[in-house]
């Protein structure tokens, strides 16, 4: 657990970067600091591992005041990942990852074995270990940065805009990877970003900060979307927040119904109904319209996943019927947008 108690940071030139920050990061969760440029996110983060010290107030890591721990000891228990990974250019990928274990006295052999294990954990093929950072893509470099931060198995991970330098598709992959890792490793993570979508996607809780170092709201993503504390947060969270909040509502109340199906590759005739084309394993392949023409399908959603997926599936389907599948991608049934909206309405109580 990390606790900020009335923490203020004022720089020598009089700039107040962080102003009376009170906030608790629960153990085993991801907390995201988000806000416009200059609002004090990085300064707040850097006070946790004593790259900066507060002007006043206290920061506790697992109940211990960080000012009472010397920085090298403190940092052994705190992994740190920065934008563009910050890898050492003249060391191989494997040696980059092995840096901290070597520093804390592991043998070279043990450190390298651990590094190889970590490369696998972050989804990189073992042979990349022999390359130098410049020989990797941006996304691969970020993965190495994450592996390096995890090397000594620190309970706390600080991540400062770690995925900002890569394109949106790679970035989503890295976010998924982080969530997968976190499900396995259960770290206490503080993640800084200026991207609210990233914050909402990966945060268990999100701290929205505003210029002057003030905390505007600290809440789970679903609450930021549905109950922003003020206009600043509402504007910062952005458009379509009602629709986006549906990502946090499960679709369990939405009952799927049967739909006529036709096997892939058969001859289609006209009919009064839309029919779903399925392959031999019952995986949806598209639709046959009443006039017997074949039309590509809309988005699919997995039963029990978010209700946003169910609604999108219905809205994007040429037949108006959203297609639900099971975990193996086999047809479970269909839903209409009206059904989904009725469930949303009924939950309003
Ligand atoms: N060493 C310093 N000396 C004086 N002012 C500083 C120093 N470091 C940061 N600041 C100021 O403190 C404020 C907060 O900076 P910080 O880097 O924490 O913001 P941020 O929210 O992380 O911004 P960004 O998203 O642009 O990285 C800014 O006004 C910044 O100019």
Centre of ligand 1 to C-alpha 39, Å, is 7
**243-278: b (≥16 Cβ within 10 Å) or e:** ebbbbbbebeebebeebeebeeeeeeeeeeebbbbb
Ligand 1 pocket, residue 193 CB under 6 Å: no
| Residue bearing the CA closest to ligand 1, atom 13 | 17
Ligand 1 pocket, residue 284 CB under 6 Å: no
- Report ipTM (2 d.p.): 0.95
Centre of ligand 1 to C-alpha 17, Å, is 6
Atom of ligand 1 nearest to the CA of 45: 18
Q: Which structural domains are found in the chain, ordered by start? A: 2-247 (3.40.50.300), 261-348 (3.10.580.10)
Residue 100 has a pLDDT of 82
Ligand 1 pocket, residue 311 CB under 6 Å: no
pLDDT in tens, the chain (349 residues): 999 999 999 999 999 999 999 999 999 999 999 999 999 999 999 999 999 999 999 999 999 999 999 998 898 889 888 876 678 889 999 999 998 888 878 888 888 888 898 888 888 888 888 999 889 888 888 889 888 888 878 899 999 998 887 778 778 888 888 898 888 889 999 999 999 999 999 999 999 999 888 999 999 999 999 999 999 999 999 888 889 999 989 888 899 999 999 999 888 888 889 999 999 999 999 999 999 999 999 999 999 899 999 999 999 999 999 999 999 999 999 999 999 999 999 887 6
Indicate whether this model's pTM tops 0.90.
no
Ligand 1 pocket, residue 15 CB under 6 Å: yes
| Residue bearing the CA closest to ligand 1, atom 16 | 40
Residue 84 has a pLDDT of 67
Could you write out the three-class secondary structure of the chain? CEEEEEEEEECCCCCEEEEEEEEEECCCCEEEEECCCCCCHHHHHHCCCCCCCCCEEEEEECCEEHHHCCHHHHHHCEEEEECCCCCCCCCCHHHHHCHHHHHCCCCHHHHHHHHHHHHHHCCCCHHHHHCCHHHCCHHHHHHHHHHHHHCCCCCEEEEECCCCCCCHHHHHHHHHHHHHHHHHHCCEEEEEECCHHHHHHHCCEEEEEECCCEEEEEECHHHHHHCCCCHHHHHHHCCCHHHHHHHHCECCCCCCECCCEEECCCCCCCCCCCEEEECCCCCEEEEECCCCCEECCCCEEECCCEHHHHHHHHHHCCCCEEEEECCCCCEEEEEEHHHHHHHHHHHCC
Centre of ligand 1 to C-alpha 333, Å, is 52
Query: Of 142, 98, 102, 137, which Cα lies nearest the Cα of 117?
Result: 98
| Residue bearing the CA closest to ligand 1, atom 11 | 17
Residue 85 has a pLDDT of 65
Residue 6 has a pLDDT of 96
């Amino acid at each position: 657990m990390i606790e900020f108690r009335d923490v203020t940071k004022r720089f020598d030139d009089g700039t107040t970067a962080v102003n009376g920050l009170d906030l608790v990061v629960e153990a085993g969760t991801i907390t995201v600091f988000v806000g416009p440029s200059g609002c004090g996110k990085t300064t707040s983060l850097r006070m946790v591992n004593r790259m900066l010290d507060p002007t006043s107030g206290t920061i506790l890591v697992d109940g211990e005041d960080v000012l009472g721990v010397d920085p090298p000891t403190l940092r052994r228990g705190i992994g740190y990942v920065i934008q563009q990974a910050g890898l050492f250019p003249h060391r191989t990928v494997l040696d980059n990852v092995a840096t901290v274990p070597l520093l804390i006295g592991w043998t070279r052999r043990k450190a390298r074995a651990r590094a190889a294990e970590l490369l696998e954990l972050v989804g990189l093929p073992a042979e990349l270990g022999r390359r130098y950072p410049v020989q990797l893509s941006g996304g691969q470099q970020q993965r190495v940065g994450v592996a390096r931060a995890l090397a000594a198995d620190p309970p706390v991970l600080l991540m400062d805009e770690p995925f900002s330098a890569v394109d949106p598709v790679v970035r989503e992959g890295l976010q998924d990877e982080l969530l997968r890792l976190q499900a396995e490793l259960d770290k206490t993570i503080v993640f800084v970003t200026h991207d609210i979508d990233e914050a909402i996607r990966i945060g268990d809780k999100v701290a929205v900060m505003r210029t002057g170092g003030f905390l505007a709201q600290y809440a789970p993503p679903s609450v930021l979307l549905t109950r922003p504390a003020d206009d600043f947060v509402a504007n910062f969270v952005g458009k379509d927040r009602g629709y986006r909040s549906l990502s946090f509502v499960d679709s369990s109340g939405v009952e799927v119904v049967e739909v006529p199906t036709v096997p892939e590759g058969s001859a289609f005739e006209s009919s009064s109904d839309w029919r779903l084309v399925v392959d031999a394993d019952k995986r949806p392949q598209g639709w046959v319209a009443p006039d017997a023409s074949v039309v590509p399908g809309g988005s699919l959603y997995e039963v029990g996943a978010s209700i946003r997926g169910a609604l999108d599936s219905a809205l994007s389907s040429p037949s108006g019927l959203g297609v639900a599948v099971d975990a193996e991608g086999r047809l479970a049934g269909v839903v209409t947008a009206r059904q989904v909206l009725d469930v949303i309405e009924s939950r309003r109580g």
